[in-house]
Amino acid sequence: MPALVLGPFLRYVSEECAHFWVETDRPCEVEVLGTVQRTFHVAGHHYALVRAGGLERGTAYEYEVRLDGEQVWPEAGSKYPPSRFRTYPKDEALQVVFGSCRVAAPNEPPHNLPKDEDAEGREIDALRGLAMRMQTEPFKDWPDLLLMLGDQVYADETSPKTKEFIRTRRSVDGPTGEDVLDFEEYTRLYRESWSEPPIRWLLSTVSTAMIFDDHDVHDDWNISQDWLDHMRTGPMWNEHIIGALVSYWIYQHIGNLGPSELAEDELFHRVHEVDDAGPILRDFALQADREPDGTRWSFCRDLGDTRLVMIDSRAGRVLDPGARSMLDEAEWRWLEETATGGFDHLLLATSVPWLLMPAMHDLEGWNEAVCDGAWGGLAKRVGEKVRQAVDLEHWAAFRESFARLGELQRAVGAGERGTPPAIILTLSGDVHHAYLSEVAFRQGSGVRSAVYQAVCSPFRNPLDDRERAVIRSTLSGPMKLLARTMARAAGVVDSDVRWRQVGDGPWFDNQFATLLIEGRSLLMRLDKVMGDDENETIIVPVLERQLA
């Protein structure tokens, strides 16, 4: 009898359909809500994306999963509520939870201790805390969508069970060490990351949208052309990038897509037509790495009258010095066609923040200019070392892209791309702290929308005390002045965009943020997840702010 290995995970949901992702231990037929889908096979693993259509608008559904006709979900004796969801639109407020950066580690000592108490400490998992709270709440108060904005898995910070598995396959004495190397090791990492019962239940009942960041592949992925050239000289890079992109396509990407995108996706159809899609996906992954302008990982979802645009700000970067861009030109055209007015709200999600703290923004602008030769050849080489050592890789380190994204928001907010939304809100993670920024454009810009950026990170990978002190130091007046002076000395022109921090952030610890959307009203909450004196999970409200 076939069995579930991982899942079911609720992925895409619209007014009339829902998609469910599963991994099984053998080929079989997967049935959800009366829709049956045959698994596809990749290198000894079996998957299905069941696309249940013909659903009623604004209706709640409770579902089971059957493999070859036998019920396997909910599991017998489960203590969790039934897996259920609601199609759009909702009568109550739409709830969108977001954040990023979640390592896989056991929820027991030493892993749930602070980093300053134990090197293995990662504190309390924020998503676990969310799942536990949901079990005490009525269904109407459950989130509708979970945005996972990067570093869903850490290929370079592997969990204890994944390390054990790696050691059974190969020596860890080489340059790869205990990092994930190939597709088979990625399958174990995903399994350990998402199979803990409360996380598995959470993902079965809250729709998810995901985009990768560097640790899903490798620390500093695509930070610069020098970095990429160096990595490609390594003997194992090809095998690693193939494993990373094949597993991402299976475990994260296909669940992001709606019916029309899947219908037009030739690769999605091909994997169902062959006995083993491994070779097809390997060829695709290698080409996506070598020719990124031919692959679009970004996607769009309409959540009733709110449009969500998820932007890939990693894989499609143009890294040529002097012509750097966060997106290639084809992706920019797609973004500018997709991020429009005509909705109550426009959410732009990117794994790396558009707006940083002012000192870090100027430092990244200075670094890009120096790496492009503003201070000569020697400074250029030093600048590249600084870029990689300090992770200067956000939108501010791609200045033309920073300005272009700002201009896009100005045009939407001014009504040049349809009726202005009530709010244009950029969502991000990556930086292992949270903050909220209010944005202003120059006088006469004509912007009628409220414009904000909300950053929430991590779900589970907090900074230690020293790292937090470094972040706080960038808020000081002298640091701001020094960074601004350096940037101007390197020829960096001040941005037309202005922003200020809202509240008393930045906020640290493991945390998640929630948007409550009702009509043209949007409220944001931020909650920390911590342990009390008995190390029991508690959720602590940090911020509540009406943004529109």
User: For residue 279, what are the CA distances in angstroms to 65, 247, 282?
Assistant: 29, 13, 5
What is the 8-class DSSP label of residue 418?
B
CA neighbor of 350 nearest in space, from 145, 524, 100, 174? 100
pLDDT of residue 235: 87
Beta partners for 287? none
Domains, the chain: 90-546 (3.60.21.70)
pLDDT at position 443: 93
Q: How many CB atoms lie within 10 A of CB 64?
A: 14
d(CA 411, CA 418): 9
The amino acid occupying position 387 is: R
What is the structure's pLDDT at 292? 86
- Geometric angle at alpha carbon 383, from 378 and 384, rounded to 5°: 105
pLDDT confidence of residue 508: 96
Alpha carbons 212 and 264: distance in angstroms, whole number = 22
Question: What pairs with residue 84 in β-bridges?
Answer: 62
CA–CA–CA angle 351, 356, 357 (5° rounding): 150
- pTM value is 0.97
What is the residue-level pLDDT of the chain in tens, covering all 548 positions? 999 999 999 999 999 999 999 999 999 999 999 999 999 999 999 999 999 999 999 999 999 999 999 999 999 999 999 999 999 998 889 999 999 999 999 999 999 999 999 999 999 999 999 999 999 999 999 999 999 999 999 999 998 999 999 999 999 998 889 999 999 999 999 999 999 999 999 999 999 999 999 999 999 999 999 999 999 998 899 999 999 999 999 999 999 999 999 999 999 999 999 999 999 999 999 999 999 888 999 999 999 999 999 999 999 999 999 999 999 999 999 999 999 999 999 999 999 999 999 999 999 999 999 999 999 999 999 999 999 999 999 999 999 999 999 999 999 999 999 999 999 999 999 999 999 999 999 999 999 999 999 999 999 999 999 999 999 999 999 999 999 999 999 999 999 999 999 999 999 999 999 999 999 999 999 999 998 766 678 999 999 999 99
Position 535 scores a pLDDT of 66
pLDDT digits (tens, 9 = 90+) for 479-537: 999 999 999 999 999 999 999 999 999 999 999 999 999 999 999 999 999 987 666 78
The whole-angstrom separation of Cα 29 and Cα 340 is 40
369 to each of 103, 229, 376, 380, how far by Cα in Å?
34, 20, 10, 9
Both structure tokens of 360: 């870090």
Compute how many other C-beta atoms are within 10 angstroms of the C-beta atom of residue 87. Answer: 18
pLDDT of residue 445: 95
With contact defined as beta carbons under 8 Å apart, do 382 and 471 qualify? no
Which residues neighbour 79 within 8 Å (Cβ) at sequence distance 6 or greater? Answer: none
Which residues is 10 bridged to in the sheet?
20
Q: Is 507 helix (H, G, I), strand (E, B) or coil?
A: strand
Task: Go through 111-142 and write b for each residue having 16 or more CB atoms within 10 A of its CB, e for each that does not.
Answer: bbbbbeeeeebbbbbbbbbbbbbbeeeeeeeb
Give the integer Cα–Cα distance in Å for 251 and 210.
Answer: 10
| Residue 74: cis peptide before it, omega within 30 degrees of 0 | yes
pLDDT for the residue numbered 534 = 67
Q: Hey, is 85 helix, strand or coil?
A: strand
* Sole residue written with tokens 């602070």: 114
Angle at 144 (CA atoms; ends 14, 36), nearest 5 degrees: 50
